[in-house]
Each structure stands twice: as C-alpha cells, then as structure tokens.
Amino acid sequence: MCGIAGFSGPDVTSDPARPVLDRMIRTLAHRGPDGYGFHAEAGVGLAHARLSIIDLATGDQPIHNEHRTVWTVFNGEIFNYIELRNELEAAGHRFYTRSDTEVIVHLYDRYGDRFVEHLNGQFAIALWDSERRRLVLARDRAGIRPLFHTRSGGRVWFASEIKALQAVLPDCSTLNPLGLVQTLTYWSAVDPDTVFAGVQSLPPGCLLSIEHDGRETLTRYWDWTFPSAEETSPARYPRSIEAATTELRELLVDAVRLQLRADVPVGAYLSGGLDSSGIVALIRGFTDTPVRTFSVAFEDGEFDESEHQMAMVRHLGTDHTTLRCTRRDIGEAFPRLVRHAETPVLRTAPVPLMLLAASVRQHGYKVVLTGEGADEVFGGYDLFKEAKVRRFWARQPDSRFRPRLLERLYGYLPNSPVRNPAFAQSFFGQGMEHLDRPIFAHAPRWMTSRRALSLLSPELRASVGAWEPLGAYERTLPAGMMSWSPLARDQYVEAKSLLAGYLLSSQGDRVAMAHSIEGRFPYLDHRLIEFASRLPPSWKIRGMTEKYLLRRALAGLLPADILQRTKQPYRAPDSQSFFFDGKPLDYVADLMSGESIRAAGYFDAAAVTRLFDKCRSSRATGFADNQAFVGVLSTMLVHHQTTAAATQKKRAA
C-alpha cells in the first residue's frame, strides 16, 4: 500500500519536475510513511510514497523493466505476483527485485494494455512507456484503491488523493455542484465525477491511456456482469447446490491464502457478523498464519456488537483488541475523517473505523483482512430482501398480508418503519411506480437521502438545472441490464454506487490509510465475484435468509448463533455525536451558524438552522434528518478545509 502522484506532458523535463513531484507526494505521507521515490524524464514525472509490506529490502518504487523503457508507480497489492513471476521468468523476463510491483512492467512488455487482465489484486497503477511516450492509468476491478486525474496547463496530472493535485493546482479546490448533489443523494459522486471541479475519478475496472499527442482512450477491462434471467446453460452455475458449496469454499480458502501474502504481520477485523467471522475462521482453519483480531465497540447498545465479537474470539482463540468508541470520540474526530475522505459523507460510521486503524497501527500491524464485499457479492443487505418483498407485494398491491413480510426486516432499528404496519405500508409503498426500472430497489434510499437536497440554496439548485436523480443514475447503467434477474440488477447498482463510491472509499481506503493501514478484502477477489454472479438468485437469498450459499460454505467453521445470525449492518451514532447536554461541539456551532452557511453559499441558512435545532433537541430520530445533518456538516468541513488550505498556499507563495 502506498500513495502515487505524477504528471505527463510534452513540456515536462526532469529537473523542474522534481520539486513539483515533491510537493504532491508529501501530502500523501500518511499513505506511505516508509520513504519516497521519484522518476522524471522528458515527458513524465512519477512519485511514490511507500508503505513497505512486500519485499522490504528492494521493493522501492518507481520500478522499471530490463531496458528501463517502462516505469511504474503503483498503490496496492498484486496477490498472485508469485505465480505471475514464475510464468514471466519461464518466458525469459529478468527480475531485479522480489516485489509484486515488478510483475506489472513485465506483463506490460508481454501483453500491452491487457496486462491488467492478468492481475489478481487491489491497485491503482500509473505506467510510463518511454518508447511510445504514453501514460497508462489503471484501477482494480472493484474500485478498492482510488486514482484521480485532471488536465491543466497542457498536462495530465494524477494522484491517489485529490489533496496531492490541490497542492500544485489551486483550481482543483473549487467544489463541483453536480458532484455535491450526487453525493448528497447517492452517498458519493458518480464516476468519473468528484465533488471538486475538473477532477475526475478513474472508474473501477478501467484503464486510461494518454498518447504522446494527447489522445485519451478509456477502456473498461472488467465489470460486474450477470447472465440473462432466462439463461439455462449448465455453464451458468454449478449443477447442484452441493457442488456450488464445495467450489465456493475452495475459492474462499484460496482468496484468503493469497491475501495473507506479506512480509509483515497480518491482522483481521472482527465485527461479530458472518462475514468477518468467516474470514477469521478461514485463516484459522486453512492456513498457518497466527490470527490477531481487532474490533470496535460502542457505549450505546443500539450499535454495539461486542457480545458477538467476544463469542467469536472465544470460539477461535484469537489474540484480540477491542477499541471502545464514545459519541464524543466520533464528534471530535469527524473533521479529521472529512479531511482524509475529501468528500461530504452522510454517516459518521467511518470515524470509528479510522480510530480502529490507529489502534491497529499502535499494535505494530500494517495489514488487516476485512469482511467487506460479502453482502454485495452474495446478496446480504436488507435492501435486497426489501426489494424482493416489494416486488412480491406489487403483484397484489391491495394485499394486506404481503407487506407484513417487511416486518421481518430492520429488527435492529429502535425506530424502524416496520414497527408501525400502517406507516410501513406508506413508507415502503413509495416508488412502486418504478417497478420495471433497474433502480427500483434503490429509489426509497435515494428518496431518503434527498432530504439534504431540500436544504440547498436556490443558487446551487439553479446551477445543476433540472437534474433528476433516478433518471440520471440510470443513464450510467449498461445496456441490456433489464434482461438480468431483479436481484442481479439490485446487486449491480449497489456495487457501483454504495460499495465503490462510499464503503471502499470513505469507509475503507481513506480511514485505513489515514493511519498507514492496508485493508484487504477477500470477498472482492474477482474470481469470487464472477462465481457468485453466475448463481441463481435463490442460492443467494433463500426465502428471507440472506447469503444462503455463503452460510453453507462456512458451516462447520462458525458457531451456530453466528452462522444463523441475521445481518446487522455496521452503524454508529450520527447527529447525536455532535451535541452534549443540548450544546454543540465548538466547531459544529461555528460551521453550522447562519453566518457560515450563508457565506459558503451551498445551503439555505434558515432551513439548516431548523434542522440544527431539531438535532440539538434530540428530535432527529430518522435516517433522513440524520443524513441531512451529517451531509451539511461534512460539506461545510470540506469547504472550510479546502479554503483554508488554498489560503495557506497563497500566503506561502
């Protein structure tokens, strides 16, 4: 794990490039505290901040091929690098390091831009071909590692985080109104948009090539894809559920084995749910790696899962550390989260994970395996079951009994809409007119998120015109998607919106790397995704039991209560983390004041004041108000932090 930065253009020369690269890469010191590396020549400048995990002695980047004609800087890990190296050496390639990075330049020599298809890993890659004078940027299939780019002054600039671009390009600090309204609706901007004007995110599973004459080609080399709902070919999935269970366990074991590769100790997060417990059980049951586990606990029982966490610790006998997190801890650390996330967020849930990463680092670990991705791959979220019930209900819209199935969802919420049957029918009956659209499952969530849009200032609202969230998102989806099963459509939208845009970013890469911790995600091994995508929906959700096949594959490894436990999403206290005895934290009072809101210009000050008073008096009990409050506060923090940083740079200049 590392940070990368650089630029390419016809006017680039080696000597003037170095100080610019230095300013960029030093903003990413938290991603790579073990040293910096640089390469500059006519046409390109590359910089790298290293977090040493594989080949501690000789793995410094940038790394080149035998003839020094291909150079790369790379953030992430190539898990199958040993197998790739063996193949490449057998074909005559000569290596000068033991690092996973070096396979990239040799694969490029051998396969050109198709080198990415051979990689099993999580990566953001910048590669320079000096003979053809072309820059190649590539991102892993699921979008685990970030990569941003922009054009300015006749050059292409790129970096692992936007702050590295802002260090040398002040125009990148202006908020993008469209990216903001997308984030307040979908929880993140939609690739390639970001919340900063002119800055683009390279989408997951994509490769961008920039030729010597400036021509750009964006290629999608991988995507989540599903068979037609009418497809009956035996190649679609294993012939029996027994065979599928065996194949899935074998894939899980191999994914975990590969992701344990490191020259430093590897730990694991343990939430107390099926997914993370399954990863730890696979480590214990099928490898010789000692297991060191970490978890977060809360003072509020509504969010705390420590009982289940400790049950797994006792079952597996792991050496375990629990970080206890209070509401005040969350509120006080929230500005630091936003600084690392570089985007507004709608929940506080990333903050405890950022604090947990600090604990992991304090205990001498750099790498942790997590259970993220299992819900997207195997159908684990209540949203999927909710959509299943709503589709069933839609076939008999006047039924009084079909909506009652919704009462089996959201039992972990003290203010769940299913507790009042009449309200549940009204709440979940929203969006039924979208039944035949690919965004059907997500329409209620996005309607809830849109509470924040009602707080926008008239000026910002006018700047995005007649933007409509459901249709806007549908225009980003692949043709032919409606031939997939309804669950497949729901999974695709979830993977492309919440997973890549928020969970793997603000709640994943950014919070871990804030403390130089590399998170690894075995459930997002692309072989597992491709396997699960071929399965019939009933092997993922059986009746109202989610992740049915995954539970079968983990049977015998976990205690029955963990194996059968209903999904409880990881959550944290939201607006209540910013008020104590009716008083806001000092920075909250300042940023949410009418004067600050009016000066920034994004929101209507009177509307924000009403929401602020509601949260201060603890009357904001629903998702919509909590998300709106956190969204406004985090937007104000992004504005304040980028404005302050830009002012500092001007003074320094």
Q: Annotated active-site positions, please?
A: 2
Alpha helix positions (H), 55-176: 81-90, 102-111, 162-166
Contacts of residue 200, Cβ cutoff 8 Å, sequence gap at least 6: 148, 149, 150, 191, 192, 193, 194
∠ CA 147-149-155, nearest 5°, is: 145
Torsion sign over Cα 473, 479, 482, 486:
negative
Mapping DSSP to helix (H, G, I), strand (E, B) and coil, where does residue 26 land?
A: helix
Contacts of residue 469, Cβ cutoff 8 Å, sequence gap at least 6: 182, 185, 186, 446, 450
Q: From start to end of 98-235, where are the E strands?
A: 121-129, 134-139, 148-152, 155-159, 200-201, 206-210, 216-220
Distance CA 101, CA 200 (A): 25
Q: To which residue do tokens 């049977």 refer?
A: 555
Alpha helix positions (H), 303-418: 306-316, 327-341, 350-362, 374-378, 382-394
Alpha helix positions (H), 484-622: 486-494, 510-513, 526-533, 548-554, 560-563, 586-591, 594-600, 605-616
Mapping DSSP to helix (H, G, I), strand (E, B) and coil, where does residue 368 land?
A: strand
**447: buried, middle or exposed (CB in 10 Å: 19+, 13-18, 0-12)?**
middle
Distance CA 73, CA 515 (A): 21
Distance CA 528, CA 376 (A): 11
For residue 35, give the nearest of 16, 5, 61 by alpha carbon.
61
Q: For residue 71, what is the enclosing H or E element?
A: strand 70-78
Distance CA 205, CA 403 (A): 38
Q: Residue 450 is encoded by which pair of tokens?
A: 């849109």
∠ CA 410-415-416, nearest 5°, is: 30
Torsion sign over Cα 79, 80, 81, 82:
positive
Contacts of residue 178, Cβ cutoff 8 Å, sequence gap at least 6: 189, 193, 464, 467
**69: buried, middle or exposed (CB in 10 Å: 19+, 13-18, 0-12)?**
middle
Q: Residue 469 is encoded by which pair of tokens?
A: 């969230």
Q: How far is CA 410 from CA 75, 378, 550, 575, in A?
A: 38, 19, 21, 20
Distance CA 21, CA 48 (A): 9
Q: From start to end of 111-187, where are the E strands?
A: 121-129, 134-139, 148-152, 155-159
Mapping DSSP to helix (H, G, I), strand (E, B) and coil, where does residue 157 land?
A: strand
Residue 281 has a CB neighbour count (10 Å cut-off) of 23
Alpha helix positions (H), 268-326: 274-286, 306-316
CA atoms within 13 A on the CB side of 518: 28
Q: Residue 377 is encoded by which pair of tokens?
A: 């791959």
